[in-house]
Amino acid sequence: MDVLVCLKRVPLAGGTLILTPDSRDIETKHLGFGISPHEENAVEAGVQLVEQMGGTLTLLTLGPSDAEEQLRSQLAIGATRAVLLETDGQEWDPQGTAAALVDAINAEETKFDLIIFGAESADSAGYQIHIRVAHALNRPIITNVKSMKVENGVAVCDRVVAAGREHYEVALPAIVTVRDGLNIPRYPSVPGRMQARKKPVDMKKAEARVPKLEKVNLALAPSKSTGAEILGNGVDAVPALVEVLKKIGTF
Amino acid sequence: MILVLVDHDRGELDQLSLRALTAARKLGQDVEAVVVGKEAASLAAIVGEYGAKVLHVAAHANITDYTPMATGRALKDLVEKLKPAAVLAAGSPRGNEQLAHLAAFLDLPMAAECSEITLGNPHHVLRARWAGNLIESANVHADLLIASVLAFSTEPESANSGAATVSEFEPSLEPQDYAVKVLSRDAGESKGGVTLTDAKVIVSGGRGVGGPEGFGQIEELATLLGGTVGCSRVVTSSGWRPHAEQVGQTGTKVAPDLYIAAGISGAMQHIAGMKNSKTIVVINTDPEAPILGYADYAIIGDLHQVLPALTSAIRQAKG
Ligand SMILES: Cc1cc2nc3c(=O)[nH]c(=O)nc-3n(C[C@H](O)[C@H](O)[C@H](O)COP(=O)(O)OP(=O)(O)OC[C@H]3O[C@@H](n4cnc5c(N)ncnc54)[C@H](O)[C@@H]3O)c2cc1C
Ligand SMILES: Nc1ncnc2c1ncn2[C@@H]1O[C@H](COP(=O)(O)O)[C@@H](O)[C@H]1O
pLDDT per residue as tens digits for the range A25-60: 999 999 999 999 999 999 999 999 999 999 999 999
Q: What is the pTM of this model?
A: 0.95
**pLDDT score, position B61:** 96
The shortest CB-CB distance from A163 to any of B9, B290, B302 is to B9
* Contact assessment for residue A178 and residue A148, using Cβ atoms and an 8 Å cutoff: yes
> What is the pLDDT confidence band of residue B311, given thresholds at 50, 70 and 90?
very high
Which residues numbered 27-46 in A keep a CB inside 8 Å of some CB on B? 36-38
Cα angle B140, B68, B166 (rounded to 5 degrees) comes to 85
Averaged pLDDT, B251-273: 95
Closest residue to atom 48 of ligand 1, CA basis: B265
User: Where do the domains of chain A lie?
Assistant: 1-222
* Contact assessment for residue B100 and residue A131, using Cβ atoms and an 8 Å cutoff: yes
Helix axes A68-75, A190-198, angle to 10 degrees: 130
Inter-chain CB proximity B297 and A235 less than 8 Å: no
In a mutagenesis test of the A interface, which of B76, B97, B235, B269 is the best target, namely the one with the most A β-carbons within 10 Å? B97
- Contact A129 CB / ligand 2 (< 6 Å): yes
Query: From CA B307, how far away is CA B195, in angstroms rounded?
Result: 22
> What is the pLDDT confidence band of residue A86, given thresholds at 50, 70 and 90?
very high
CA dihedral A31, A33, A39, A43 (to 10 degrees): -140
pLDDT over 90 percentage in chain B: 92
Averaged pLDDT, A98-109: 98
How many beta-carbon pairs under 8 angstroms link A with B?
257
pLDDT over 90 percentage in chain A: 92
* Contact assessment for residue B178 and residue B63, using Cβ atoms and an 8 Å cutoff: yes
Q: For the segment B156-168, what is each residue's pLDDT rounded down to a tens digit? A: 999 999 999 999 9
B315 in contact with A, Cβ within 8 Å: no
Distance B132 CA to ligand 2 centre (A): 18
Query: From CA A113, how far away is CA A2, in angstroms rounded?
Result: 5
Phi first, then psi: give them for residue A71, nearest 5 degrees. Answer: -65, -45
The shortest CB-CB distance from A242 to any of B141, B257, B317 is to B317
Sorted by sequence, the CB contacts under 8 Å of residue B124 that are 6+ apart come out as B117, B118, B137, B138, B139, B140
User: Strand, coil or helix: what is B24?
Assistant: helix
Write out the DSSP string of B171-224.
----GGGGSS---EEE-TT--SS--TTT-SEEEEE-GGG-SSTTHHHHHHHHHH
> What is the pLDDT confidence band of residue A223, given thresholds at 50, 70 and 90?
confident
- Record: fold of A1-222: Rossmann fold (3.40.50)
> What is the pLDDT confidence band of residue B203, given thresholds at 50, 70 and 90?
very high
Closest residue to atom 36 of ligand 1, CA basis: B208
B185 in contact with A, Cβ within 8 Å: yes
- Contact A249 CB / ligand 1 (< 6 Å): no
CA distances from A48 to A14, A41, A54, A56, A80 (A): 29, 10, 10, 11, 12
Burial class (CB in 10 A: 0-12, 13-18, 19+), A225: middle
CA distances from B157 to A121, B17, B25, B83, B235 (A): 32, 12, 10, 26, 39
Which residues numbered 1-20 in B keep a CB inside 8 Å of some CB on A? 9
> What is the pLDDT confidence band of residue A131, given thresholds at 50, 70 and 90?
very high
The shortest CB-CB distance from B299 to any of A140, A219, A231 is to A231
Helix axes A129-137, B93-106, angle to 10 degrees: 40
Q: Nearest-CA residue of chain B relative to A23? A: B136
Distance B28 CA to ligand 2 centre (A): 34
Inter-chain CB proximity B250 and A37 less than 8 Å: yes
Q: Per DSSP, what are the bridge partners of residue B146? A: B87
**pLDDT score, position B153:** 85
Q: For the segment B45-54, what is each residue's pLDDT rounded down to a tens digit? A: 999 999 999 9
Averaged pLDDT, B20-38: 97
* pLDDT(B191) > 60: no
pLDDT over 70 percentage in chain B: 98
Query: From CA B316, how far away is CA B1, in angstroms rounded?
Result: 62
Inter-chain CB proximity B110 and A213 less than 8 Å: yes
Beta pairing, strands B134-140 & B12-13: unpaired
> What is the pLDDT confidence band of residue A227, given thresholds at 50, 70 and 90?
confident
3-state percent breakdown (helix, strand, coil) of chain B, nearest 5: 35, 30, 40
Averaged pLDDT, B74-89: 98
Closest residue to atom 31 of ligand 1, CA basis: B265
* pLDDT(A92) > 80: yes
Q: Which residues of B touch A94 (CB under 8 A)?
A: 109-110
> What is the pLDDT confidence band of residue A16, given thresholds at 50, 70 and 90?
confident
A153 in contact with B, Cβ within 8 Å: no
Residue with the larger pLDDT of the pair B137 and B155:
B137
Distance B137 CA to ligand 2 centre (A): 20
* pLDDT(A224) > 70: no
Q: Per DSSP, what are the bridge partners of residue A154? A: A151, A171
Averaged pLDDT, B5-17: 95
B313 in contact with A, Cβ within 8 Å: yes
Inter-chain CB proximity A214 and B141 less than 8 Å: yes
Distance A100 CA to ligand 2 centre (A): 12
Query: From CA B184, how far away is CA B186, in angstroms rounded?
Result: 7
Inter-chain CB proximity A167 and B184 less than 8 Å: yes
**pLDDT score, position B280:** 97
Average pLDDT, chain A: 95
* pLDDT(A91) > 70: yes
Inter-chain CB proximity A218 and B239 less than 8 Å: no
B114 in contact with A, Cβ within 8 Å: no
Q: Which atom of ligand 2 lies closest to the CA of A36? A: 21
Query: What b/e readout covers A34-46, taking b as 16+ CB neighbours within 10 angstroms?
Result: bbbbbbbbbbbbb
* pLDDT(B259) > 70: yes
Average pLDDT, chain B: 95
Q: For the segment A150-201, what is each residue's pLDDT rounded down to a tens digit? A: 999 999 999 988 778 999 999 999 999 999 999 999 999 999 999 999 999 9
Q: For the segment A63-82, what is each residue's pLDDT rounded down to a tens digit? A: 999 999 999 999 999 999 99
**pLDDT score, position A160:** 87
Averaged pLDDT, A210-222: 95
> What is the pLDDT confidence band of residue B200, given thresholds at 50, 70 and 90?
very high
